[in-house]
Structure 1
Amino acid sequence: MNHDANGGVLLMQVTGLGHAGLLIETQTSRILCDPWVNPAYFQSWYPCPDNRELDWGSVTEVDYLYISHRHQDHLDKELLASYVHPSTPVLLPDYPLSTLRTTLTSLGFSNQITPPAGVPFPIGDDRILINPQIGPSDGPIGDSTLSVKDDTATILNQNDTHLTNLSSTRSFGPYTAHFLQHTGALWWPMVYDLPLKAKQHFAQLKRSSQRTRALRYARDIEAAHVFPFAGPPMFLDPDLIGHNGTGDHGESIFEDPDVFLNLLRDQTSTTRGHRFFPGTVVDMDGDSMTVTQSLYSDEQIERISQDWGAYRREQILLRQRPLAKTEHAGHTPTCTNHTVLPDLIDWIEPLMRAAPSVCAAINGALEVDVQDERILFDFPARTIRAARGEQPHYRFTIPHSLVCSVITDLEPDWCNSIFLSLRFKASRVGKFNQALYAFFSSLDTERMAYVESWYAKRDDTNATFTADGWTIQRRCPHAGADLSQTGSISGNTLTCRVHGWQFDLETGRCIAGGAATIDATRAATVLPDGDTA
């Protein structure tokens, strides 16, 4: 047993809590990371496999709490209020915005420790490193990783984070274990008005890019052991069960962990992958490791892993009736049947006027259909009004109750509420526009000012960098990442590590077939006589 006479661990121990939840134990510290058990996003998402039978009273008796970011499948307010003592110190990522800090303070967690970003920091006899990502496409404007080192092992909890600069994280190693997301958390293409074949095509591309990105991170970090986690969720509502896994007809983006584990086994020779369930206990000493189970038996894990679809169908049958009376009832909040246009004008139009660069990047109109209302967000004019039959670039159809809910709560991040619920429909003309979703992630003064500043700086479209004989535009045309930091070149192919988009440098075209293009030319070579070739 990996415990002393007083119950403390002798080696580093990590226990899976389901989804992105971890309990990290060293000889001197217990760190609770991203615990989630209650349904999220208007009761759309559920942890998979079911983690309700964990001893939550025990696992939440900790020395530190770490919440990587504000997404509801990482920040379970009900669980924190029920189980974690508010005096527990919080290890808070050094974000430029106060949203996560304010949310945790409102729950009573005022003892907050903010280590400097990307710098090793002592806690007890151990050292940690928190690496926050702060671009508008990083989670709810902010996502982070946590590395922990003691005398016996070093681990990286990457959860959902799209790491762009690996240097500080890599230098904290070498790593014994790497916990990373292997599948996505997105509504594209499932909610979009597209032909089935198009949805299947785009979903297949997305699944491929997700697993390839996870494999690239595993290779970059070079841990001895890799544990895929942080998804996918399961959907139990009859309106949403078609999104489980790869979907009824291959039109969904969610992939089960064994797909990635098989890829990892085939593509790497020095890293070993492991299944990671609620109750999986990992004991580490250097590169040596033992993995045991405390909730699901090995036989149950094997059965579930052989057919995740059958497991989810069992869960639907077991839980659908009680859910219909309790949990599912929550996805339609109580709402008076009033028009929402005046509230949206009062709330959001001042934010549009304060964000000329963001609105210019959107460069089109959005129609939001809410019950019988047709509401036009005219981003070029920075106004909101009733639609008059225009042909908008973008369209959302959202249940009236959900719009009422975010209005009542003044929820600043619709991605972290409406959009990830998958309880809406969307359509667009042309390519994906990151600025549109950045706008709807930033519906308060502080967040909008930050995103506006980011887009204003991004407007320098002439900025370039030189690498491997190429002169390339600095900003990725997908989400604006700095390619001088996030880009890698192999032959004539440039890959942006943030979302896995690839471009043919000879033609500038997006290899995945999207409409985005990149400017790239062969860099001039300086000859010995000072001429160029």
Structure 2
Amino acid sequence: MTSIRHLGHAGFTVEHAGLRLLIDPWFHPAFLDAWFPYPDNADLLPEVVAGRWDYLYVSHTHEDHFDERLLARLSRDTTVLVPRFRSGALARRLTALGFTRQVRLGHRQTHPLGPGTTATMLLDTSHKEDSGLLLDLGGFRFLDLNDCSPPLSDLPAGVDLLAAQYSGAMWYPNAYDYPPEVMAEKTAAVRADLMDSLARKVHLTGARTYLPSAGPACFLDPELDRFNDRQRTIFPHWEDVAADFAVACPGTAVVRTAPGDTVHALPRSDGREVPPAPPGRWLTDPAGYLADYRERRRDAWQAFHRDEPAPPTADEVHAHFDRLQRLNRPLLAGYRTGLALEAGGAAWRTALGDLAAQVELEDDPVDPAYTLRVPPRVLRAVLDGRAGWEEALLSMRIGLHRDPDVFDLTLLSLLRYGHQPAQTRRLVRERAGTGETVERDGLRLQRWCPHAGEDLAHALIADGVVECPRHHWRWSAETGACVSGGSLPLRVEALPAGPAPAGSVPNPSTELEGRLP
């Protein structure tokens, strides 16, 4: 019998016909000792370390998926299924750990694991580096999307069990300094977008059963306790959103699991469903559970506060941003903005862009669009290369302010991906809007969203507005100007009357051609 065991968060073990596969095992604190698995899964760690695994799959380099301390304890004889990302960073990090047996798979590439068992890689084809995995286990199809968003047109059909994100995994909006009423509005919008994205994945894959996974984390450091509020943040429990899912996906069963629970894969022809796990104390008494968890893991979350870091200097800060700009000149071409950085009692203002020169705070003529309030310990970790800005932002230890309140994709991409220019070069190509087009409702528009590379063949077009189905950016269908979400324009034009020219992408039907079989 095929069995799929949930390790918590996005972690799974899969057993089929004598084959054993380990997926995204996460046990140690992530993002500057801020994130912890929730519920606690520490009791499963010994058997994962001692287990014999034929294959290991790590979806991407985020620390709640790439648990380096755990991976360092696994047998190096294990073959690793590695998504073939442009930067090659994941493959290099696995090689550095001693995992030399690697099967590198590109988007939609399939690899046989054993008799009647295959794995198909799915990539986020935008500038982001994330992946999902489709396992065909003797006819039972398990799709693990974790927090990956492949193009909707590339999602497979006929999925028996779907594991995918329902809870947020981003610092926006809860790390920003919005007034309470604005924060409530923005949090509700993000949660609605997450549910919309999940429902689309369910409908397009035809998922028979959904397993809530890839969140939420919890925050054991008392300084971060406010982010454990499941009602006022983008980190809800499944039970907080289950009713919305039932409305959006009434034909899909849900199997609720706790760490260690096993789902026995049943053929699609078998009408039996897996009963949900009984609620644990982490659900019935979350405050008491969290307090005990915090005490059990005191040494782990207090590690962030040990030792006194050397104070950051202006020279270090300026040298850091000089290097980022040199690595990412194509991204910054024609761009200029200001960034304010506050750490402890010090403050710096940095001018960013292709012609920008860095100067001291009081002399900089460029008003900062973004202000980052960074604890000195966090800034020291970034300057020393122990963490990138992506990890620092995800730690929720940084406070953010922006004026105007408009998402700056160039700045955030420089911070998040600037150490891997392969990603920012891809972003530049996306924003250029060249290449494929799609024709919808009398319009010809660029095929891929300039924000995150989603396939706009699935865009919502109504009332003169084009809306991306992934993050719900909206553009004027007449001018292509961005009216909601950010500031990047969309290349769009009205179609002339008459038949569609050859070479364009038609409006896809609900049953999309080109999806994985």
TM-score range, shorter chain: 0.7 to 0.9
**Partners of 2:492 and 2:384 in 1: CA distance:** 47
**1:440 pairs with 2:427:** no
Q: Cα deviations across residues 388-434 of structure 1 (Å, max 9, x unaligned)?
A: 265311110111111212222354x311x210000011111121112
- 2:79 is the alignment partner of 1:79: no
1:22 partner SS: strand
For the structure 1 residues 427 and 451, does the alpha-carbon distance in structure 2 shift closer, same or farther, using more than 3 Å as the test?
same
Map of 2:209 onto structure 1:
225
1:133 paired with 2:120, answer no
1:423 aligns with one of 382, 385, 397: 397
Q: 2:42 aligns with which of 52, 60, 83?
A: 52
Tell me the residue number matched to 1:254: 235
Against the structure 1 CA distance between its residues 64 and 283, is the aligned structure 2 distance closer, same or farther, given a 3 Å change threshold? same
Tell me if the contact between 2:30 and 2:63 (Cα under 8 Å) persists in the aligned partners.
Answer: yes
Structure 2 contact 135–142 (Cα < 8 Å) conserved: yes
Q: 2:371 matched to 1:395?
A: yes
User: Kindly tell me: are residues 80 and 354 of structure 1, through their superposed partners in 2, closer, same or farther at Cα, counting changes over 3 Å?
Assistant: closer
Matched residue type, 1:408: D
**CA distance in structure 2 between the aligned counterparts of 1:144 and 1:356, rounded to whole angstroms:** 27
Compute the displacement of 1:471 (Å).
3.0
Counterparts of 1:132-531 in structure 2, within 5 Å, are 132-136=123-127, 138=128, 142-167=129-154, 169-170=155-156, 173-246=157-230, 250=232, 252-287=233-268, 288=270, 291=274, 298-301=277-280, 304-305=282-283, 307=284, 310-311=285-286, 313-324=287-298, 326-332=299-305, 334-360=307-333, 363-380=336-353, 381-388=355-362, 390=364, 391-409=367-385, 411=387, 413-415=388-390, 417-430=391-404, 431-444=406-419, 447-452=420-425, 454-456=427-429, 458-460=431-433, 465-472=438-445, 474=447, 476=449, 479-481=451-453, 483-485=455-457, 487-489=459-461, 494-502=466-474, 505=477, 522-526=494-498
Change (3 A) 1:58 1:400: closer
Summarize the Cα distance change of 1:151–1:101 in structure 2 as closer, same or farther, 3 Å threshold. Answer: same
After superposition, the C-alpha distances for 1:350-395 in whole angstroms (9 at most, x for unaligned) are 3313423322476311111122332233112344443226531111
Give percent identity, aligned residues only: 24
Structure 2: give runs of 5+ residues left out of the alignment. Answer: 501-517
- Give the corresponding residue for 1:42: 32
User: 1:130–1:145: 8 Å Cα contact kept in structure 2?
Assistant: yes
> How far does the alpha carbon of each residue in 1:176-204 deviate from its partner, in whole angstroms, 9 at most, with x for none?
11111012101111121221111111111
Residues 397, 426 of structure 1: 8 Å contact kept: yes
Q: Secondary structure at the match of 1:393?
A: strand
Does structure 2 retain, via aligned residues, the 8 Å contact 1:332–1:402?
A: no
Kindly state the Cα deviation for residue 286 of structure 1 after the two structures are TM-superposed. Answer: 1.6
Hey, what's the Cα distance between the residues in 1 that align with 2:499 and 2:332? Answer: 46
Please tell me the residue identity of whatever aligns with 1:316. Answer: L
Q: How many Å separate the matches in 2 of 1:485 and 1:271?
A: 25
Partner Cα distance (1:409, 1:516) in 2: 31
With the length of structure 1 as denominator, give the TM-score of the two structures.
0.84
Shift of 1:236: 1.8
Q: Return the alpha-carbon distance in structure 2 between the equivalents of residues 115 and 475 of structure 1.
A: 22
For residues 47 and 72 of structure 1, the distance between their equivalents in structure 2, rounded to whole angstroms, comes to: 11
Equivalents in 2 of 1:284, 1:464: separation in Å? Answer: 40
Say if 2:3 and 2:14, in contact at 8 Å, map to a contact too. Answer: yes
TM-score by length of 2: 0.86
Out of 402-411 and 36-45, give the one that drifted further. 402-411
User: How many residues end up aligned between the 2 structures?
Assistant: 492
Could you give the per-residue CA deviations for residues 150-186 of structure 1, whole angstroms, max 9, x where no partner exists? Answer: 224111000000121433x41xx42111111012101
Aligned to 1:21: 11
How far residue 480 of structure 1 moved from its aligned partner, in angstroms, is: 4.8
Q: Give how far 1:520 is off.
A: 5.0
Structure 2 SS opposite 1:285: coil
Q: C-alpha distance in 2, partners of 1:490/1:286?
A: 40
| Amino acid corresponding to residue 320 of structure 1 in structure 2 | R
Does the aligned pair in 1 maintain the 2:210–2:254 contact within 8 Å?
Answer: yes
Q: Secondary structure at the match of 1:282?
A: strand
The CA deviation string for residues 237-262 of structure 1, in whole angstroms up to 9 with x for no partner, is 21111111445xx2x21122124432
**Preserved CA contact (<8 Å) 2:72 2:97:** yes
Q: Offset at 1:54?
A: 2.1
> Aligned AA for 1:97?
S
The one-letter code sitting in structure 1 at the alignment partner of 2:36 is Y
| Matched position secondary structure for 2:70 | helix
Residue number in structure 2 paired with 1:65: 56
Question: What residue identity is the alignment partner of 1:64?
Answer: Y
Mapped partners of 2:430, 2:35: distance in 1: 36
* Mean CA deviation greater in 510-519 or 360-369: 510-519
SS class of match (1:166): helix
Alpha carbons of structure 1 residues 224 and 13: separation in structure 2 relative to 1, 3 Å: same
Question: Where in structure 1 are there 5+ consecutive unaligned residues?
Answer: 1-10, 529-533
Task: Look up the SS of the partner of 2:131 in the other structure.
Answer: strand
State the partner residue of 1:32. 22
Distance 1:181 1:236 in 2: 21
Structure 2 Cα separation of the partners of residues 515 and 440 of structure 1: 18
| Counterpart residue identity of residue 525, structure 1 | A
| Aligned equivalents of 1:194, 1:474: Cα separation in 2 | 34
Maintained 8 Å contact 1:23/1:30: yes
**Cα distance change, pair 58–474 in 1 and its aligned pair in 2 (3 A):** closer
d(CA) in 2 for partners of 1:425, 1:147: 37
Per-residue deviation, residues 41-70 of structure 1 (Å, max 9, x unmatched) = 112111111111226425742111100000
Residues 336, 482 of structure 1: CA spacing in aligned structure 2 closer, same or farther, 3 A cutoff? closer
